[in-house]
Amino acid sequence: MLDAARKRSDSRQIMPSTTRVSDRRRGAVSNHAVMAIIGLLVLIGLGGWLSQMGRVEPARSADGGERATSSLTFFCAAGIRKPVEAVAKRYLEEYGVQVNLDYGGSNTLLSRIDTAKTGDLYLAADESYINAARKKGLVAESLSLARMKPVIAVADGNPKNITRIEDLLREDVRTVLGNPDQAAVGKKTRKLLKASGHWTKLEALVRQTGTFQPTVPEVANTVKIGGADAAVIWNTTTKIVDGIEAIEVPELDKGEVLVTVGVLTSAADPTESLRFARYLAASDRGLKEFRKFGFTPIEGDKWSETPELTFFCGSVNRRAVEQTIKSFQAREGVQVNTVFNGCGILTAQMKTITDKKLTGFPDTYMACDKYYLEIVDGLFQDAVEISDTEVVIAVPKGNPKRIQSLADLARPGVRVAVGQPDQCTIGVLTRQVLEAEKVYEKVMANVVTQTATSALLIAPVSTGAADAALAYLTDTKAEAEKVDAVRITSAAAKAIQPMGIARASRNKHLARRLIRAITQARSDFEAAGFHWRFEADGSGS
């Protein structure tokens, strides 16, 4: 009995002990599971943090909003790869826009663009390809970047002692050239050596003992690895590729080219494409990389995400240019601060700004007539003539005073309105016309009002405050229901509208593109009554 009781007692003592061990095991499993879950969450969080480190933020604009475009397709001449890659990387870091680069020979890329009609930007080693693309309707705007020239490339130390073009014709020299139908350097080499008389023999020799390559890097690498003794490549390539050196010769020195980027007409977002092109062409952004890699960069504009242009414009041009300015601002993503006024007033403003060293001098100026550009000619460059218009006699509808000539303006009782010559071009031209016809004093005796701009001359006639006004034909067009125009048979009765770029402008290339946009607006000028003068030469920027 006692033994049985002890067994039952032992059993009771053992059972709780067994239960506690089991509980500990269950507790241990539970703790391990919790730790595993926590560890997994930490890893997930760490993975997310690491992925964020490598993730590019959405493309942002200057105001912090997301851009509509987060990537661009860029066709790039293979020989310009190094600087463009560096600039594209910085642009991605700064603005979150991925530039997808596609390399090839300049002509090969042009052919692909022409066939596919896709892509945003095209950089050619020679601007002639951009001009060709523009003629095909493939390129809208273009921006110049840097200069380079062809040279002979040889292995370091020049083991074959090559010093002149004639050395490439030696039987012991194997030469590699760019394919003229694919690479810009090949096309330029052929052109230069045809002119010097070396091409026919060299081409035949290369076909026998050398090779033609589709891109300039492939040409350079052939010399580097010993596959050829000499090549003709860009001087910049010899500074990028190790193991080769440049030999300059006079026949090739004449072949300097301008590396140029064009915005394709197929661009999905022209504004974003232009913005990157401006970044690439900016003196304090992209062009610094070109200089680093041995190119000779142009004097580019300073970088600004949303640059501003100040445009002084004679009031006669207003109706012809206003829509172009609006379209230019929207496409380029820039601000054009346009000041319309009489040219005498505008040039006086320029003089004040210059004399007192104030800000606000215009980047570009379009005058009502050459006279008012010539008096500030030293301050402007690259002027082109855009259009011309006649000086006419504006009279009320039906011409109640029967005015037919300048002499009629001198009749007793005829009230005349004219422009003020110190303030506007129409005033200067009026004086010149009246003096040429020898009626200046008599007509001026009948003047009842003088205005500061040509735009104000029609109102006195249309409201009955004057019987006639010497005005631009273009201004009468806008009020054709109220006034008639009497033509003047005088050679002096013509105003020519020129446009130039300020020598002091920090945005010369942007200003040049504005001028280009205006020179493409012929229909707007003709609709406003102007006669078109500008003759396009197909050149870029």
Q: How far apart are CA 66 and CA 272, in angstroms?
A: 12
Q: How far apart are CA 253 and CA 250, in angstroms?
A: 5
Domain match, 488 and 396 both? yes
Q: pLDDT tens-digit profile of 447-456?
A: 999 999 998 9
Q: How far apart are CA 415 and CA 469, in angstroms?
A: 9
Q: Which of 257, 261, 297, 273 is nearest to 133 (CA)?
A: 261
Domain match, 280 and 319 both? no
Domain match, 400 and 421 both? yes
- List of the chain residues with pLDDT < 70: 1-69, 537-541
The domain total for the chain is 3
Q: How far apart are CA 393 and CA 434, in angstroms?
A: 12
Q: pLDDT tens-digit profile of 489-531?
A: 888 899 999 999 999 999 999 999 999 999 999 999 999 999 9
Domain match, 194 and 228 both? yes
Domain match, 419 and 486 both? yes
Asked, for residue 75, whether it belongs to a domain, the answer is: yes
pLDDT value at position 401?
A: 96
Domain match, 237 and 264 both? no
Alpha-helical (H) ranges within 197-304 are: 199-209, 216-224, 235-240, 250-253, 270-280, 286-292
Domain match, 177 and 264 both? no
Among the candidates 242, 275, 297, a domain finishes at: 297
pLDDT value at position 60?
A: 53
Contacts of 12 (CB under 8 A, 6+ apart): none
Among the candidates 222, 255, 288, a domain finishes at: 255
Asked, for residue 112, whether it belongs to a domain, the answer is: yes
Asked, for residue 60, whether it belongs to a domain, the answer is: no
Q: Are strands 308-314 and 335-341 parallel, antiparallel or unpaired?
A: parallel
Domain match, 267 and 312 both? no
- Residue 244 pairs with which residues in a beta bridge? 155
pLDDT value at position 65?
A: 52
pLDDT value at position 70?
A: 87
Q: What is the pTM of this model?
A: 0.83
Among the candidates 297, 324, 358, a domain finishes at: 297
Asked, for residue 46, whether it belongs to a domain, the answer is: no
Domain that holds residue 459: 306-541
Asked, for residue 66, whether it belongs to a domain, the answer is: no
CATH number at residue 130: 3.40.190.10
Maximum pairwise Cα distance, the chain: 157
Alpha-helical (H) ranges within 293-424 are: 318-332, 343-355, 371-374
Asked, for residue 19, whether it belongs to a domain, the answer is: no
How distant is the alpha carbon of residue 143 from its chain centre?
5
Distances from the Cα of 69 to the Cα of 95, 120, 299, 334, 502, angstroms: 11, 11, 29, 17, 34
Domain match, 169 and 133 both? no
Asked, for residue 8, whether it belongs to a domain, the answer is: no
Domain match, 359 and 283 both? no
pLDDT value at position 335?
A: 98
Q: How far apart are CA 470 and CA 457, in angstroms?
A: 8
